[in-house]
Amino acid sequence: MSDKTRRKIGAIGLVLGLAALMLILILTALHAVGTDAGLYHAEQMKAGILPKAGVSEDDLRMLDGRLADYLAGDEAALDEGDGVVPVEVFGEMQPAFNAREMAHMADCFNLFVLLRKVRARLIAWAVLLTVGGAYLFSDRKKARVCAWLSPLILLVPLGAFGIWAAIDFDGAFVFFHRVLFTNDLWLLSSRTDLLIRICPERMFMAMGLRIGLWGLAALVGVPAVATLISFIWPKSKQNEANPWNDNRATRRARAQRPRTFDVGGKR
């Protein structure tokens, strides 16, 4: 493999590895926010949903905790042994969620399971691509450039969606659901479905904002840490063994073509 090809492969690997690491952090933020019962409840109280929801604050807090546990992986969190957890709604005891709501929650559960699987698999790839790419690239200064280019892979699509959501949240929200779900179970009615009454738009906007801020921190933090590591990475005594070495004199010496001259002046 030529030195030029090796460096190209190393640069691509480094960029993809750092992008994978950022995606891991964004997925972690999404999971943390999506399973934060405290955030649910705080935004519900700010929106003043209790009169329209028809449930007490204690029951609402209980449902928030069960929904968060369910999405975090506890498949039995919404069951009471013989059916869906009961709750008093407008003075009458009934299952908290009907069949359509439970089917939609099952879809959400599967999405969070998929999120955790993707994140787990990305970890190995992020380490392999980042370390392998840095080793092959062997150029500290250009490695820093790659580190700051890597966020663009995620920043362009996520930034465009974030701007769309800021301008037209309803449109972005509908698009998001149509992409993620293969059915229309997410189209609930406030007249018949408690789930939509306890999950106001304000709550989803707050969740989206928090995920966006955490994502932005990841897009800035990962390149910053990679840049710092490139400065403090220990140098090897032997230049060729140092993956971060940027010794230009050594490279020039390698590039020189040897010349030999005969005594008679012939080359």
**pLDDT digit string, tens, across residues 44-61:** 999 999 999 999 999 999
Q: What percent of the chain has pLDDT over 90?
A: 67
pLDDT in tens, 138-187: 778 888 898 999 999 998 998 899 899 889 998 999 999 999 999 999 99
Rank 32-46, 124-138, 237-251 by mean pLDDT and report only the highest. Answer: 32-46
Does residue 132 surpass a pLDDT of 80? yes
Q: How confident is the model at residue 239 (pLDDT cuts 50, 70, 90)?
A: very low
One-letter-per-residue 3-state SS of 124-162:
HHHHHHHHHHHHHHCCHHHHHHHHHHCCHHHHHHHHHHH
Distance of CA 237 to the CA centre of its chain: 39
**What is the C-alpha separation between 45 and 99, in angstroms, rounded?**
26
pLDDT at position 234:
56
Give the residue with greater pLDDT, 64 vs 139.
Answer: 64
Does residue 36 surpass a pLDDT of 90? yes
pLDDT at position 235:
57
262, with CB counted inside 10 A (0-12, 13-18, 19+), is exposed
Q: How confident is the model at residue 135 (pLDDT cuts 50, 70, 90)?
A: confident
pLDDT at position 136:
85
Token duo for residue 166: 């800021």
Q: What is the mean pLDDT of residues 224-244?
A: 65
Q: Is 89 helix (H, G, I), strand (E, B) or coil?
A: strand
Token duo for residue 181: 């779900």
Q: What is the mean pLDDT of the chain?
A: 87
Token duo for residue 155: 């920043």
| Residue in the block written with tokens 């890597």 | 150
What 8-state DSSP symbol labels residue 66?
A: H
